[in-house]
Amino acid sequence: MNKLVIRKGLFETSSSSEDSLSVYQDMSIFVLPKDLYQKFEDNELYLKLCTDSIIPMVAEDYNWVKEENKRVAKKYKIKLDNNGEVPYYYCFTNRNSFYINYETYIASIRHYFYDVEFFNKENNDEVIFGFYGYIED
């Protein structure tokens, strides 16, 4: 028998007590097929983590990503670093704009949040991943 508990501001689903994921309003959550998530984790794939979708935009071509990020940085008047890359600390607050690899994803979120928690959970052929944390005042 499944137990249903409703709490304001929280969506939770569980098929068993051993396999569950709770999602709350201020949590960032995304979904990718397992193979793409593995490439992302290995820094071989770039994602644009849009705030209005749990399915990120995906790019594999580093040269294309670098040019696209340059174009967007110019539009928003963001100065690139010495390697011609968007500095990681701009990537979280502008995540609707820039493609980032896993290393930049982790660094940008750790820069913006304190006491941040990252998670990933396999669900059939997909990985549900994201983070939650607190913003410093």
- Quick: pLDDT tens for 85-134: 999 888 877 777 899 999 999 998 888 887 888 999 998 899 999 988 77
pLDDT in tens, 19-33: 554 554 456 789 999
5 has pLDDT over 60: no
d(CA 72, CA 53): 20
Structure-token pair, residue 6: 């409703």
Whether the Cβ atoms of residue 119 and residue 133 lie closer than 8 Å to each other: no
Strand partners, 74: none
11 has pLDDT over 60: no
Instruction: Let me know if 27 is exposed, middle or buried by CB neighbors in 10 A (0-12, 13-18, 19+).
Output: middle
Whether the Cβ atoms of residue 137 and residue 126 lie closer than 8 Å to each other: no
Whether the Cβ atoms of residue 32 and residue 129 lie closer than 8 Å to each other: yes
User: pTM to 2 decimals?
Assistant: 0.77
Structure-token pair, residue 69: 């990020």
DSSP 31-51: EEEHHHHHHHHTT--EEE--T
